[in-house]
Amino acid sequence: MKIINSVLIAGILWLTQSLMAGTLVQASSADNARLIVNRSADFGVEESINLAVDGVPVAVLGFNQNYNAALPPGKHVVSITANPKTSPDQSPNQIPLNAESGKTYTFTAAWTDSERASLVEQ
């Protein structure tokens, strides 16, 4: 009986925390910026783009895909790498971004160099 009560209490606490977290996210979403990363039409059919924000992977963009998500205000680093890697020591192309509430930041991932994909601000 003690195990059932413990599981029930843990479930109620988890549900309460989940509902509270969802309410906080919904309440603050209007204060966010928006990040859009498009994939250039001529990027390549067999290549994909690994997209990260602040070092955290957020998307892998394949052919004809883009990324569109809320971004909290503040300083961020948006970075991409190509997949497969074009060179063994490929480092991410990084763009610093100081996001402001209500603004949209749009970039296009393109080949600006034969071995390095870059983010181009629109």
Q: Domains in the chain: how many in total?
A: 2
CA nearest to 52, candidates 19, 29, 76: 76
Q: Torsions phi, psi of 96, nearest 5?
A: -75, 145
Nearest 10 degrees: CA dihedral of 104, 73, 76, 55?
Answer: -100
Domain residues for 81?
A: 32-121
Distance, in Å, from the CA atom of 109 to the CA atom of 117, rounded to the nearest integer, reads: 7
Q: Is the pLDDT of residue 117 over 60?
A: yes
Percent of the chain whose pLDDT exceeds 90: 57
**Do 20 and 38 sit in the same domain of this protein?**
no
**Distance from C-alpha of 41 to C-alpha of 55, rounded to nearest angstrom:** 25
Are residue 37 and residue 25 in the same domain, yes or no?
no
pLDDT by residue (tens digit) across 60-116? 999 999 999 999 999 999 999 999 887 777 788 999 999 999 999 999 999 987 778
Interior angle at CA 59, CA 58 and CA 64, nearest 5: 155
